[in-house]
Structure 1
Amino acid sequence: MSTQPEGNSVPRITIVGGGFAGVAVALRLLRQAPAPLHIDLIEPAATPGLGVAYSTALPHHLINGISKMISLFDDEPAHFTDWLAGQVQAGAWAPPEGVALGDSLPPRQLYGAYLQETWTTQIAKLPEGFTLDHVRARATGLQRTGEGYVVTLGNGQRLHADKVVLATGLMQRRTADLPFEIGDDVLASRRYVHDQWAPGALDGIADDQRIVYLGSGLSALDGLISAEHAGFCGEHVAISRRGLAVNERRALPPWPDFLNIPEQGLTLRELVRQVHPQLRALAAQGEDWQRIVPTLRLQVDVLWARASVQERRRFVRTLRSVWDVSLHRSAPTALAWQTRVKADGRYRHEAGQLLAVEALANGRLKVRWRERGGATVHTLEADRVVNCLGFEYDWRRSDDPLSRDVLARGLVLPDPLGFGLQATRDECALLDANGRAQPGLHAVGHPLRGVFWESNAVTEHIPQVGKVTRALVAQLEQALQDERAVA
């Protein structure tokens, strides 16, 4: 079945993905488009906007970015804090004592409510001539036709679009790409949790005696909080390659900017030579090392843009994990759950390389790993194993039909390091297999990890949403001018 546009008078924009990024693009377009248009939002979930991050029902799962930085609209930075102030006034939530509202880290559940309220309010008062369809399906194909595109859905329907925005979010890793051995019997077991956010994933966990988390980052902390909230009273064991722990996010003034970045960029060694003296100065003055994190974060975009592929690869290989735990820190009240469990003697963290997860005859699972810096292989039985090793960014390693289709057609160009797709930095316009920017084809969010490096959180997605919508609005305005000139 094919859905044809009704004439050519109303531009049609298709947004593939209705999580946070896709909904943010739609909202901005509905606010700023110069003339009526039609939007197809392709999202199988019944409720757009929540995605993985904001669908949690637990108030203990908190945002990892401060409130004043996560407005839906980069041209209206107080939009979220104004809404949040209303929630505080209504008694729905309050920031911790002594923490300013703008510096607070509210529950993700609350941020999801903000997204939903903003979305439903906007949809209820669509400007005259504007239409929006929430298409509950998955996109499985995309091809260019003339000056537009056709998006194929899993049910065979074909949607015609003048412009397309890929806001596809996170992709699950293929089993074959997991960095340890795992058999079909493990994958079929309810005791192996590949996706802790799947309905029923942690059912019955209160009866377990030991949970093993593959990974020790923020996802593992989420799992620990979920388990404790569900009544788990046993032992938590995290296994990670480097043994790095989650850091508490402390509200501190940034360290003065010190980086000198030449036009040709910095090698990783040169960057480290600039950073280390600052860390020593912080320590000598009794200052907190976290003061340097926001200072470096402000320069990441420039550092990454000017780094060669070789230097980027060197960073990913040697310093990525250190940077991740330094930047992606936890709200103090969330990390307190782990601290309490540790004080009770129910938490331990092992550093080493995962080797295998195996099913035992008694129904439990056995985890094998080799200790870091040694040859000793350890084993551990678990009632539940929760995979917290992250998602897949490399579109070439995805089983997703849309990913395979756009790569086969040469519509997109993979990042050489496997972090999503290549695109222009000013408009997030995707490059084709020949390195040419595709007219009317843009991306937002996780597909742009390789373009901006930090492209995981709201604070990174919103500027990209601004770039894409400004580009689309400019294209729509130009089309209007051309139409009037012909008339």
Structure 2
Amino acid sequence: MNTVAIPRVAIVGGGFAGIAVALRLLRQAPMALHIDLIEPAATPGLGVAYGTPLAQHLINGVSKAISLFEEEPAHFTGWLARQVRAGAWAPPPGVAIEDSLPPRRLYGAYLQQTWAEETARLRPGLSLEHVRARAVGLRATAHGYAVSLADGRQRLADKVVLATGLMQRRADQLPFALGDAARRSPRYVADQWAGGAWHEVARDRRIVYLGAGLSALDGLISAEHAGFRGEHMAISRTGLGVNERRMPEPWPDFLHIPDGGLTLRQLLRQVHPQLRAMAAQRQDWQRIVPTLRLQVDTLWARASVQERARFVRKLRSWWDVALHRSAPEALAWQTRVKAGGRYRHAAGTLLAVDTLADGRLAVRWRARGSDAVQTLEADRVVNCLGFAFDWTQSHDPLARDVLARGLALPDPLGFGLQANRADCALLDAGGRPQPGLHAVGHPLRGVFWESNAVTEHVPQATKVARSLIAQLARPAAHAHEDRAGAAAPVAAG
């Protein structure tokens, strides 16, 4: 008796994006299906974002927008309301649960609980394995793909989803010189979420943050919570700081985007009059942010590579600080430290980080508009310059293998991989979409530009799951037709 093999999907990466795809498949796949979630961490779903233990690290997006499931927009807020009733947390006075910005660890608990509940009640024919290993290679086979693991094992799959998350910057990719001794020093913090990053920080007198965005704010909160009472010094290229997230009514939509797209200059010609009108009416400038955010996908899709590059070079920093704002309660930590005379922020160019004779670190930099080189002595230097997106520069073995085998086409600006916008199917080296090899999340930064948060990852997970289900349903239907044909009586000639 012939049997049909159960199709297998391998999801590489078990952070938020990875479990979002897995849960969507488990909920919606009408056929038998096996999923391998390849993730070395013991707890799927947390990733970098939601693994912090501190209640003072808050979500930067409103609760009503970050449900795991598009079809259940109140899934998270309903869960959060139950936590509030149980006394686990309470939103600030006067803030509705739907508009709250709760602790990231609480959102991590939501992800863990949802994952545990959904995977504990699998329908017949569905199975899932959390493969605790690191994927280091990927190759195409006659019937799908083979994922190579760091422990020497191999997993075969009909379809593969790359949900690989963020990539750490290599030391030689940093925009400043980093001495070998400084790189090895425990006083240089390349990853503030690593164990020991804040060890004995209470003894320090000065921390220098390379960068002044949300990651630097996280670092300030971590240091203060650990007992640090010295000086915080942030150096950033533009001098732009973190904005408090306010939620005024969105400004009316005003953008006209022709099919051929807008140049950056044409875009600004539409935006600047709106900003002037808002200022004249004493309106909160943040009203324009959600209005523009709704159009980012269309703006980016229709922009040429040259205009995208111009945006990255000239306006990326301004857009990032406008969109990625902080919960007021989190930013209040910086405000209090600043009021106490313990926080400085300077605009300038980083030149080098080296060690001093006493083991501390020296940060050499040049203030914006000056040719003079300055040196800051620091007890701890925290790198907050963000993550890498350029797969061609990565030392990650999986990234190198995928590109070497022609399974993916790098983004021309170095923001991940190119993909079909409709279903996130990766383009191969020849520019052809590959149904059966998809990506979600950070690898698609160059496709959608905003591909960093829950609000982007969930719709992408929906697209990918829908496409995979359609692809897997076709062979199943053909197999059913073949079995039916074989069982039918043969007509006499």
- Bin for the TM-score computed over the shorter chain: over 0.9
The one-letter code of the counterpart of 1:68 is K
- Which of residues 153, 168, 171 in structure 2 aligns to 1:172? 168
- Which of residues 122, 128, 148 in structure 1 aligns to 2:124? 128
Is residue 2:41 matched to residue 1:21? no
| Cross-structure match for 1:220 | 216
| Cross-structure match for 1:405 | 401
| Cross-structure match for 2:195 | 199
CA deviation vs aligned residue, 1:442-462 (integer Å, no higher than 9, x gap):
000000000000000111111
CA deviation vs aligned residue, 1:117-160 (integer Å, no higher than 9, x gap):
00011111111121111111110100000130000001111110
The structure with the larger Rg is 2
| Cross-structure match for 2:268 | 272
| Cross-structure match for 1:67 | 63
What are the within-5 Å matches in structure 2 for residues 2-401 of structure 1?
8-401=4-397
Q: CA deviation at 1:8?
A: 4.6
| Cross-structure match for 2:463 | 467
Query: Matched residues in 1 for 2:61 and 2:479: separation?
Result: 44
Query: Matched residues in 2 for 1:404 and 1:268: separation?
Result: 34
The one-letter code of the counterpart of 2:322 is S
Conservation of the 8 A alpha-carbon contact between 1:71 and 1:80 = yes
Residue 448 of structure 1: SS of its match in structure 2? Answer: helix
Residue 460 of structure 2: SS of its match in structure 1? Answer: helix
Q: CA deviation at 1:81?
A: 0.6
Query: Matched residues in 2 for 1:45 and 1:174: separation?
Result: 22
Q: CA deviation at 1:192?
A: 0.2
Residue 168 of structure 2: SS of its match in structure 1? Answer: coil
Gaps of 5+ in 1: 1-5
Q: CA deviation at 1:162?
A: 0.3
Query: Matched residues in 2 for 1:164 and 1:235: separation?
Result: 48
Q: CA deviation at 1:92?
A: 0.7
The one-letter code of the counterpart of 1:482 is H
Residue 26 of structure 1: SS of its match in structure 2? Answer: helix
TM-score w.r.t. the length of structure 2 is 0.97
Q: CA deviation at 1:9?
A: 2.0
CA deviation vs aligned residue, 1:330-380 (integer Å, no higher than 9, x gap):
000000000000000000001100000010011110001011122121111
The one-letter code of the counterpart of 1:207 is R
Structure 1: 4+ residue segments shifted above 4 A:
none
Deviates more, 1:421-430 or 1:368-377: 368-377
Query: Matched residues in 2 for 1:439 and 1:150: separation?
Result: 15
Query: Matched residues in 1 for 2:13 and 2:418: separation?
Result: 19
| Cross-structure match for 1:449 | 445
Query: Matched residues in 2 for 1:373 and 1:249: separation?
Result: 30
Residue 346 of structure 2: SS of its match in structure 1? Answer: strand
Q: CA deviation at 1:16?
A: 0.1
The one-letter code of the counterpart of 2:421 is R
Query: Matched residues in 2 for 1:404 and 1:7: separation?
Result: 37
The one-letter code of the counterpart of 1:202 is W
Query: Matched residues in 1 for 2:49 and 2:3: separation?
Result: 39
Is residue 2:418 matched to residue 1:427? no
Conservation of the 8 A alpha-carbon contact between 1:248 and 1:330 = yes
**Among the aligned pairs, what percent are the same residue?**
73
Conservation of the 8 A alpha-carbon contact between 2:208 and 2:234 = yes
CA deviation vs aligned residue, 1:419-471 (integer Å, no higher than 9, x gap):
00000001000000000011200000000000000000111111101110111
Query: Matched residues in 1 for 2:73 and 2:260: separation?
Result: 33
Residue 145 of structure 2: SS of its match in structure 1? Answer: strand
Q: CA deviation at 1:7?
A: 7.1
The one-letter code of the counterpart of 2:6 is V
Query: Matched residues in 2 for 1:8 and 1:425: separation?
Result: 32
Conservation of the 8 A alpha-carbon contact between 2:4 and 2:479 = no
| Cross-structure match for 2:486 | none
Query: Matched residues in 1 for 2:406 and 2:469: separation?
Result: 26
Query: Matched residues in 2 for 1:199 and 1:135: separation?
Result: 23
Conservation of the 8 A alpha-carbon contact between 1:182 and 1:358 = yes
| Cross-structure match for 1:3 | none
Query: Matched residues in 2 for 1:188 and 1:310: separation?
Result: 39
Query: Matched residues in 2 for 1:204 and 1:87: separation?
Result: 33
Conservation of the 8 A alpha-carbon contact between 1:428 and 1:442 = yes
Q: CA deviation at 1:295?
A: 0.2
The one-letter code of the counterpart of 1:335 is L
Residue 349 of structure 2: SS of its match in structure 1? Answer: strand
CA deviation vs aligned residue, 1:213-268 (integer Å, no higher than 9, x gap):
00000000000000000010000000000100000000111000000000000000
Conservation of the 8 A alpha-carbon contact between 2:57 and 2:218 = yes
Query: Matched residues in 2 for 1:438 and 1:262: separation?
Result: 29
Residue 298 of structure 1: SS of its match in structure 2? Answer: helix
The one-letter code of the counterpart of 1:251 is M
Query: Matched residues in 2 for 1:482 and 1:104: separation?
Result: 49
Conservation of the 8 A alpha-carbon contact between 2:360 and 2:379 = yes
Count of residue correspondences: 482
The one-letter code of the counterpart of 2:290 is P
Deviates more, 1:475-484 or 1:277-286: 475-484
Conservation of the 8 A alpha-carbon contact between 1:34 and 1:476 = no
Give the alignment's Cα RMSD to 1 decimal.
0.9
Q: CA deviation at 1:36?
A: 1.6
Query: Matched residues in 2 for 1:393 and 1:186: separation?
Result: 24
Q: CA deviation at 1:32?
A: 0.5
| Cross-structure match for 2:491 | none
